[in-house]
Amino acid sequence: MTAIIELEGVRKTYRSGSVEFEALRGIDTSVQPGEYVAVIGPSGSGKSTLMNLLGCLDVPTEGRYVLAGDDTSSLDEAALAAIRNRRIGFVFQQFHLLPSMTALRNVELPLVYAGVSRAERRERAAAALSRVGLAERLDHRPGELSGGQQQRVAVARALVTEPALLLADEPTGNLDSRSTHDVLGLFDELHAAGRTIVLITHEPDVAARAGRNLVIDDGLITEDRVTAGVVAR
């Protein structure tokens, strides 16, 4: 089975004048289809840099990153943008919903960029919102939804293109405890349905929901452990 993520000797160095900072110092790991992996580490550990690479928002200074069979390591920005739109669904701490648009219109946006027809966009966006439990909220704007509901809209938007990878960056960071429970329950359901999820977090309780934890510190993966998280069926 082809891995969704393959990282080989990945390093990332930032330069400012004569000063260099190595944010990632040699990452080797892989993620298989259907895995639910949490990347956990303190502030400054390198997890945000790793998230940017996994999301094709940046490229390694050294090493290889292969996403669902595509070697992204030396691609230009146009090619990276095409892979982001085709292969990755993003969920962020800030929901990044357009306040003037309904939930349905927000979820349609990735399909607009992909050139999908209006009728198909609406059908797929409505199905994605139904999948996350918001079939009755299609015409609500973000300001009319709770924080947990807004994050569900963001998840539906991430899923609507049927990406190979769902990449979540601190997705519960702006949520209260009840909304956090609801959104993590949704990730559990998506994992059980076979989705490949990589979640970036600094919270051990959130990471414990995943079936596997990658602990990162000082630019290195210091631990790769299986947890008692929800097992995909």
How does pLDDT run across 110-120, given as a tens digit for each residue? 999 888 999 99
Q: What is the mean pLDDT of residues 208-225?
A: 95
Asked whether residue 232 carries a pLDDT value surpassing 50, the answer given is: no
Give the lowest-confidence range in 10-14, 182-186, 213-217, 228-232.
228-232
SS3 annotation, 52-119: HHHCCCCCCCEEEEEECCEECCCCCHHHHHHHHHHHEEEEECCCCCCCCCCHHHHHHHHHHHCCCCHH
* Stated pTM of the model: 0.90
CA distance 153 to 97: 8
How does pLDDT run across 190-216, given as a tens digit for each residue? 999 999 999 999 999 999 999 999 999
- Give the residue from 136, 143, 135, 130 showing the smallest Cα distance to 189: 130
CA distance 114 to 223: 38
